[in-house]
């Protein structure tokens, strides 16, 4: 993986796209295909294969965790920034994308990462303390002959230090879970900076059940000590719901375990396209969470729409 400080890229360093593997002039207005390509009608080109990009708010002095899902397994993913095309039209059409076009103009490559066997690639981008407070467009693209994988475009702004942002699986995952009640259950989350935990979030597929969310340390690859939690809370709507922690808690960077327990059967966003290991214990909703996580049961191959709200 090769990463560059975002400040350098915000200085309009465009050479990587104009001269490198991802290079091609953009089509002029009214043209059916970009100059320099074989003259094929745009309508005859296969559509790009959709992948999804997850990007948090960008905060000075913090690390932005970019993640693309549903890309080409084993493929090289280019994480790109540029100006968003008004109206969502096509932007630059790099030659390596086989006729596919980005939703950005003036793109530059932030870095590349190799997708795992599920087509997921993650990239940590440090945001310099002096980065300008501007907005930018982000996208991910993976060359694959005439069938490139191209993500959605995410517009993001750079904020001053102290702005809340999320760490974890905020964007909706593709499936709806069937969470049984009275199990404290979750997966690991990597926190890339020293932060203060302000709250917890969940993507609900149904409303109704009350939940309780918690963060545990990682000890030898399993959940350890309880460090932060919510009260018993009721998600108000389908979609994203966030809840304050019972108290703000400063934590050092590292791996943690993000857990939830439900009062009745619940459904949240989740995915099976992962090698994540789920850890869980029986736990009666409404009773105090264990200060030290007992020896858990485990299974592989699920991850959930839980996240932390931090600053």
The predicted-structure confidence for 212-229, as pLDDT tens digits, reads as follows 999 999 999 999 999 999
Within this chain, do residues 150 and 202 fall inside the same structural domain, yes or no?
A: no
Within this chain, do residues 52 and 120 fall inside the same structural domain, yes or no?
A: yes
* Domain end marker among 134, 159, 184: 159
Within this chain, do residues 178 and 140 fall inside the same structural domain, yes or no?
A: no
Q: Please say whether the beta carbons of 252 and 196 come within 8 A.
A: no
SS3 18: helix
**pLDDT digit string, tens, across residues 265-308:** 999 999 999 999 999 999 999 999 999 999 999 999 999 999 99
Within this chain, do residues 194 and 69 fall inside the same structural domain, yes or no?
A: no
Torsion over CA of 260, 261, 266 and 268, rounded to 10 degrees? Answer: 0
Domain count, the chain: 2
Task: Give the domain CATH number at 134.
Answer: 2.60.40.10
> Closest Cα partner for 214 from 79, 86, 306, 115?
306
Within this chain, do residues 155 and 169 fall inside the same structural domain, yes or no?
A: no
Structure tokens at 211: 């939940």
> Closest Cα partner for 255 from 286, 283, 227, 292?
227
SS3 21: coil
| Whether residue 8 has pLDDT greater than 70 | no
**Cα separation, 12 vs 105, whole angstroms:** 12
| Whether residue 253 has pLDDT greater than 90 | yes
Q: Please say whether the beta carbons of 269 and 176 come within 8 A.
A: yes
Within this chain, do residues 114 and 211 fall inside the same structural domain, yes or no?
A: no
Q: Domain range holding 184?
A: 165-310
Indicate the DSSP class of residue 162.
T
Within this chain, do residues 102 and 169 fall inside the same structural domain, yes or no?
A: no
Within this chain, do residues 176 and 278 fall inside the same structural domain, yes or no?
A: yes
Q: In the block, which residue shows the tokens 């465009």?
A: 14
Within this chain, do residues 152 and 171 fall inside the same structural domain, yes or no?
A: no
> Closest Cα partner for 191 from 306, 64, 90?
64
Within this chain, do residues 151 and 173 fall inside the same structural domain, yes or no?
A: no
The DSSP bridge pattern shows strands 49-54 and 149-151 to be parallel
* Domain end marker among 124, 159, 194: 159
Within this chain, do residues 60 and 155 fall inside the same structural domain, yes or no?
A: yes
Beta bridge partners of 191: 254
Averaged pLDDT for residues 145-164:
96
**Cα separation, 55 vs 171, whole angstroms:** 9
Q: Please say whether the beta carbons of 16 and 22 come within 8 A.
A: yes
Within this chain, do residues 7 and 152 fall inside the same structural domain, yes or no?
A: yes
Structure tokens at 101: 């076009």
Task: Give the domain CATH number at 236.
Answer: 2.60.120
* Domain end marker among 121, 136, 159: 159
**pLDDT digit string, tens, across residues 58-96:** 999 999 999 999 999 999 999 999 999 988 889 999 999
CA angle 70, 95, 8 (to 5 degrees): 75
């Amino acid at each position: 993986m090769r990463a560059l400080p975002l400040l350098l890229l915000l200085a309009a360093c465009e050479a990587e796209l104009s001269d490198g593997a991802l290079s091609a002039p953009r089509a002029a207005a009214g043209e059916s295909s970009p100059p320099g390509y074989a003259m094929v009608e745009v309508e005859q080109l296969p559509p790009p294969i959709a992948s999804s990009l997850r990007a948090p708010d960008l905060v000075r002095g913090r690390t932005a965790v970019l993640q693309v899902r549903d890309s080409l397994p084993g493929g090289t993913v280019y994480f790109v920034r540029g100006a968003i095309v008004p109206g969502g039209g096509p932007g630059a059409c790099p030659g390596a994308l086989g006729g596919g076009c980005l939703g950005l103009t003036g793109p530059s490559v932030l870095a590349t990462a190799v997708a795992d066997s599920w087509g997921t690639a993650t990239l940590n981008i440090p945001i310099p303390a002096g980065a300008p407070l501007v907005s930018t467009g982000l996208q991910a693209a993976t060359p694959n002959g005439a069938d490139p994988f191209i993500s959605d475009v995410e517009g993001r702004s750079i904020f001053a230090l102290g702005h809340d942002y999320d760490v974890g699986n905020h964007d909706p995952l593709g499936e709806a879970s069937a969470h049984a009640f009275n199990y404290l259950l979750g997966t690991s989350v990597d926190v890339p900076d020293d932060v203060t935990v302000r709250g917890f979030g969940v993507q609900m597929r149904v409303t109704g059940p009350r939940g309780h969310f918690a963060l545990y340390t990682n000890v030898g690859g399993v959940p350890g000590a309880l460090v932060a939690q919510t009260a018993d809370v009721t998600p108000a709507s389908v979609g994203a719901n966030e809840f304050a922690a019972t108290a703000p808690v400063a934590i050092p960077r590292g791996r943690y375990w993000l857990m939830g327990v439900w009062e009745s059967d619940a459904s949240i966003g989740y995915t099976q396209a992962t090698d994540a290991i789920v850890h869980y214990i029986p736990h009666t909703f409404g009773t105090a969470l264990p200060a030290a996580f007992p020896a858990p049961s485990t299974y592989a191959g699920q991850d959930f729409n839980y996240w932390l709200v931090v600053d």
